[in-house]
Amino acid sequence: MKSGLDLYRQNRLLTDDWRTLEAEVFRRVVFSLRQGHEAGGVELTKAIADARILWTAVRDLVSDDSNQLPPDLRQAIASLARALLVEMDKPLPDIDVGFLISATTNVAEGLEGKS
C-alpha cells in the first residue's frame, strides 16, 4: 500500500492544477473530521491527528521566508493555523470539531475559488 505522501506525489504529477489538488487534501481532512465527529473515540482522535499534521505543515510552509504568497496572506494563514493547533491541543471532549471543520472547509473552498 502506498503512503499518503506517495499518493500525493503521484497525484501531483497527474495535474497542473495545484490548487485543486491542495483543496482535495483539505477536503479529505474535512471528511475525516466529519466521520470522526459522528463516530467519536478513536476515529475522532485519528481525524484530529490528521488535521494536526495538515495544519502544522500549513503553518510551517507559510512561515518559510521563501514562500511566494503575499506577506499579509501568509500572516493570516499562519494565525489561523496557530488558532486551530491551539484548539486541537485541548482535551478531546473540549475540542470544537465544528470550528475545525468550518475553517478547513473555508480554506478548501478558497483554493477552489468558491469563497
Please tell me what DSSP assigns to residue 51: H
CATH 2.40.30, domain 4-112, yes or no: no
- Say what the pTM is: 0.83
Burial letters 49-58, b for 16+ CB under 10 A, else e: ebbbebbeeb
Tell me what the pLDDT averaged over the chain comes to: 89
* CA atoms of 112 and 115, how far apart (whole Å): 8
Structure-block grid coordinates of residue 13: 504529477
Q: Which is higher by pLDDT, 36 or 113? A: 36
- 3-state class (DSSP) for residue 77: helix
Question: Nine-digit cell at 99?
Answer: 470550528
Q: Give per-residue pLDDT as tens, 50-92.
A: 999 999 999 999 999 999 999 999 999 999 999 999 999 999 9
Round to whole Å and give the CA distance between 54 and 77. Answer: 13
Please indicate whether residue 114 or residue 42 has the higher confidence score (pLDDT): 42
